[in-house]
Structure 1
Amino acid sequence: MLIIPAEHPLDWKRPPVITLLLILLNCLIYFAYQSGDEARQEAAIKSYLDGGLLNRERNLIVERLMQEHELKEYEREQVQAMPRQQLAGAALTDLEFEQQIHQRADYQADAQWQSKRQAAEAARDQISSFRFGFIPERFTIQGLFGAMFLHGSFDHLLGNMLFLFIFGFALELALGKATYLLLYLASGLASHLLWWAVEPAWVPGVGASGAIAGLMGMYLGVYGLRRIKFFYWLGPLFGYFTAPALWVLPVFLGKELYGALLADNNVNYWAHFGGIAFGFIAVWLPRQFNRIQVDEAYINKEDADAPFKRELQALDQLIGRFVLDQAASRGLDLLQRYPERLELLDKLYPVAKTRQDKALFSALLKQLFALPAGSGQLALLQKLASDAGEGQSPMLKHPSVLLHLLQHLLREGDSRHALQPWRLLAAQTPAPAQLATLSLQLSKQLGQRGDRHGLADVARLLREQFPDAEQTRQVNLLQAHLAR
């Protein structure tokens, strides 16, 4: 049975940075560190066999395997015939068997046996699951934290990372990065602590599933009784349904409780149960007292840009009623609160041009020229170039404005409109020093377009104003090449 929320689509405009970093960290640990476990295990088994420990402990481990697997007496020979490496591995990795060995009087009286076994156990403890896995009967802080970043196999890693992404991307946006990360780690700890309290075991536990189960509980805690969309897969049946999020909590907990009490596999159901319960309580309870901040606009699927759009509409109404003094005043305020928004710049440019408002013009041009290339500002740049050429705005004829306008039009690859500010700059005496370099860039673009007339104008200016410049020589060569 599988039930997962399907309430929010992924929005890459707000990438889940913490979730992606957690996935990357888990993958790096698995591939860069845990990939060495096979060699570590071989070294531990070699130490065990070289120390002659199997000769001492063969009958003991055979008896242990017979009891553990409830084998019949006639199967004893099959167990005794197991390969030496396999028996050695069983003797080394069975921590309860190890505890029984340590409590034997003959072991405690045999210093050589103790020395050889301690060496083999030290080699075994270099394996990731024994070094950083959580073993309830051997409670360690490094195991409590480290186990949630280890995985038993690639399939284990893949499944956990998939669910981490499914639950994590929405929760990171809803709770905020810091709260999300803190509760993720706390859920992992809580899942291990419940397992330690309910089912003390000698088996190393590894995996992020306890922390991820916490995300499942958090998701339900965020939405509470709000109806949300779920995807389900039950045998041959699958599809979507909507229900109050809280109604799914008993299903999640009941599934894990059933597995903990009745299932016979290696899944750590108690850790899952603890993670879900903690995650839910850690979010739902503080929400009842407004003790945790949640992005209500996100969970309500409100348009994040809605406030800006309302402000823009109000500005549009002022312009439509020709209340330009108020539109200019509000425009300056909006430029401060919503910087570098092209829609706003488009709305305000006619106001600034009509009123010849220096403050509004200056703020507008600074933000326009600060936009990165390819932000959709070409149409507005072309409008400025045309207005400058027609002399509609004295402020557009300032040399620094014209230089910025020329640079940005060249960056956008629009040589046709770039000629307008270039001609105005060329008419100034003396010509700005940067004009030679910009003229060469313009010439190359004009040459690519095959605009010989425009190229001739640029070449003539360079010969007059910068006769000895390297840029003049290159433009002359380009002009000669196109004339062939």
Structure 2
Amino acid sequence: MFFFIPYGTDRPARSFPFITYTLIAINVIVFAWQYGVSNSDAVMDRYAFIPNQLNGMSWFTYMFLHGGLSHLAGNMLYLWLFGCALECALGWWIFLPTYLLSGCVAMMLHYSIVMATDPVGANTHLVGASGAIAGLLGMYALRFYQTRIRMWYFVFLLFFIRWGKFEIGSVWFIAIWIAQQIFGAAMSAWSPDVGSHIAYWTHIGGFGLGMLYALLINLQSEGKSEYVLADAVYALDRQDYRRALQLSGEVVKREPANSEARLVHVRSGMHTRPFEDFIPEYESLMKDSLQKHNLELAQALYTELESLYPTNGMDSRLRLAIATCLAQLGDHAGAVRVLQRIIQEAPNSAEAETATLRYAQLLIEQLGRPKEAADALRHFVVRYPNSQWKDFAEQLLAKARQAMRK
């Protein structure tokens, strides 16, 4: 006797998979209700799918019922194992409809096969989330084809007992699983009494829909980009800059909006080509980071660019946005240095007026340097006599003078 049970993967979810956990909770709650009511058989008759007795919404409700605790536990394990990463990769708005549609298509294939070949099965209740989960496996096989599945095994033969852990590639794991379903379906067709308690065609139908949909939305290309990018990051860490540049370039060509790939591309490229060639890309990445409110990345990119190429001639509008970013992150001294560069290097720009006010305000309110602020504000009043911010500048100047008297 032996058991093989998957318990995890090397691909953790990148965000909280709310829909996956919600589906698990719904299935558990329905199971508790299903076996907690006085007449559970009536629940099965009403909400399970019976091919010979098409009943209301049973084509949908059947996937939330289960035939026992082990049935529920096995399905929820697979839903958790494969659903978490898929939901994070696809987004819940694709994940949830695909899950439900897989369950419905799985039921339709089961109905077609059973009605044509299995009179006994046509009067049997169909329950379980496995058809919907099979759709997830079909998508997972293409999207996460390099993922490793962590397995626990237990072997018991007379006096020989062994247990432990091992890993297997996701493609091999899923290939073995679907082969078991096809074999079971063939045996059921050959002899309806063999394996009739397992709806193999439901699994095959859900799996087929999931794989077909993954092919239609080119999900395997997204998976390839992720793995190629991981190789590029590894090459960059090992200072193999040419390979990192080549691999990240492949991803950027396929996905121009992939910020992570562009970042690896520019960081590896500056070691193999003139750095000036990559300044526009640095600035573009900073703009993207600011638009996505990824302030930490914008700060890191700016610091990196300034340290490598101080005379980069950055656009004053972008520099002003970076100053705001640094101030929001609490780096007030850094924000002041950026604002000072705008004032000195682009005194005639539209941003210099705003930069002078923000510069003075930070000096007064955050850094306790009112004398420097007062000098900047006196310069502001002289240079911008008709500014719409003149009253505000005079208020700041009065505040600076008051602080200087203390």
TM-score (structure 2 length as normaliser): 0.61
Q: In the alignment, does 2:112 pair up with 1:166?
A: no
Matched position secondary structure for 1:343: helix
- Structure 2 match to 1:310: 265
CA contact under 8 A between 1:175 and 1:293: conserved in structure 2? no
In the alignment, is the contact (CA less than 8 A) between 2:135 and 2:208 conserved in 1?
no
* 1:78-126, Cα deviation, whole Å (9 max, x unpaired): xxxxxxxxxxx9xxx4xxxxxxxxxxxxxxxxxxxxxxxxxxxxxx5xx
The Cα of 1:328 is off from its aligned counterpart by: 5.2
Tell whether the 8 Å contact from 1:221 to 1:280 is kept in structure 2 after alignment.
Answer: no
SS in 2 for 1:240: strand
Partner of residue 207 from structure 2, selected from 272, 280, 283:
280
Q: What is the CA–CA distance in structure 2 between the aligned matches of 1:431 and 1:424, rounded to whole Å?
A: 17
CA distance in 2, matches of 1:291, 1:297: 15
Counterpart secondary structure, 1:137: coil
1:222–1:337 Cα change, 3 Å: closer
Equivalent residue, structure 2, for 1:193: 108
The alignment partner of 1:239 has SS state of strand
Deviation at 1:354, TM superposition (A): 7.0
Q: Does 1:361 align with 2:319?
A: yes
Matched with 2:286 is 335
Q: Does 1:23 align with 2:33?
A: no
Q: CA deviation at 1:269?
A: 0.8
Give the 5 Å matches for 1:35-74: 38=37, 41=39
- Partner of 2:37: helix, strand, or coil? helix
| SS of corresponding position for 1:398 | helix
Equivalent in the alignment of 1:9: 11
Q: Is the 8 A contact 1:171 1:219 kept in 2?
A: yes
* Cα distance between partner residues in 1 of 2:314 and 2:175: 62
Structure 2: distance between partners of 1:23 and 1:399: 55
CA-based RMSD of the aligned residues comes to 4.7
Q: In the alignment, which of 188, 191, 198 is matched to residue 269 of structure 1?
A: 198
The aligned counterpart of 1:419 is 368
> Are 2:253 and 1:296 aligned?
no
Alpha-carbon displacement from aligned partner over 1:197-241 (angstroms, at most 9, x marks no partner): 2453545443323322333344345577x7955625354444325
2:127 to 193, 198, 206: 206
Q: Select which of 157, 166, 170 maps to 1:240.
A: 166
1:208 partner letter: A
Report SS of the residue matched to 1:136.
coil
Residue 346 (structure 1) shift:
1.4
- Which of 57, 62, 83 is matched with 1:142 structurally? 57
User: Counterpart of 2:383?
Assistant: none
Deviations 1:345-375 (A, max 9, x none): 2124565777485244224224445x6xxxx
Q: Secondary structure at the match of 2:166?
A: strand
Report the residue type matching 1:293 in the other structure. Answer: N
- Do the aligned residues in 2 keep the contact of 1:332 with 1:363 (CA within 8 Å)? no
User: 1:125-171: per-residue Cα shift (whole Å, max 9, x none)?
Assistant: xx4x3432223332124001011123466665454323201011233
Q: Secondary structure at the match of 1:300?
A: helix
Counterparts of 1:383 and 1:431, CA distance in 2: 23
Distance 1:426 1:383 in 2: 20
The answer to whether the 8 Å contact 1:187/1:211 transfers is yes
Alignment partner of 1:250 is 2:175? no
Instruction: Output the CA distance in 2 between the equivalents of 1:176 and 1:18.
Output: 10
Question: Does structure 2 retain, via aligned residues, the 8 Å contact 1:135–1:202?
Answer: yes
Shift of the 241–28 alpha-carbon distance from structure 1 to 2, 3 Å rule, reads closer
SS at match of 2:153: strand
Could you list the runs of 5+ residues in structure 2 that have no partner in the other structure?
156-161, 231-257, 346-351, 379-390
Amino acid in structure 1 at the alignment position of 2:153: W
State whether residues 215 and 276 of structure 1, in contact with CA within 8 Å, keep that contact through their aligned partners in structure 2: no
| Structure 2 CA distance for partners of 1:136 and 1:172, relative to 1, 3 Å | same
Percent identity of equivalent pairs = 21
Letter in structure 2 aligned against 1:461: Q
The structure-2 alpha-carbon separation of the partners of 1:130 and 1:366, relative to structure 1 and needing over 3 Å to count, comes to farther
**What is the distance in 2 between the residues matched to 1:247 and 1:356?**
53
Match of 2:357 among 396, 399, 419: 399
Query: 1: CA distance between counterparts of 2:181 and 2:7?
Result: 12
**Cα distance change, pair 23–431 in 1 and its aligned pair in 2 (3 A):** same
Name the amino acid aligned to 2:106: S
Larger radius of gyration, structure 1 or 2? 1
Aligned residue for 2:57, secondary structure, equals: helix
- For residues 258 and 282 of structure 1, the distance between their equivalents in structure 2, rounded to whole angstroms, comes to 22
Q: Where in structure 1 are there 5+ consecutive unaligned residues?
A: 42-88, 94-123, 372-376, 411-417, 440-457, 466-484
Report the more deviating stretch, 385-394 or 183-192: 385-394
What amino acid maps onto 2:319 in structure 1? F
User: Which residue is 2:158 aligned to?
Assistant: none
TM-score, with length taken from structure 1: 0.52
Q: Which residue of 1 aligns with 2:385?
A: none
Give the corresponding residue for 1:461.
402
| Count of aligned pairs | 328
**1:231 partnered with 2:158:** no
Pair 1:204–1:284, CA change in 2 (3 A): closer
1:10 Cα deviation after fit: 0.8
* 1:262-310 CA distance string (max 9 Å, x none): 459xxx411xx224312433344577xx533202246636337233122
Q: SS in structure 1 opposite 2:134?
A: helix
Amino acid at match of 2:11: P
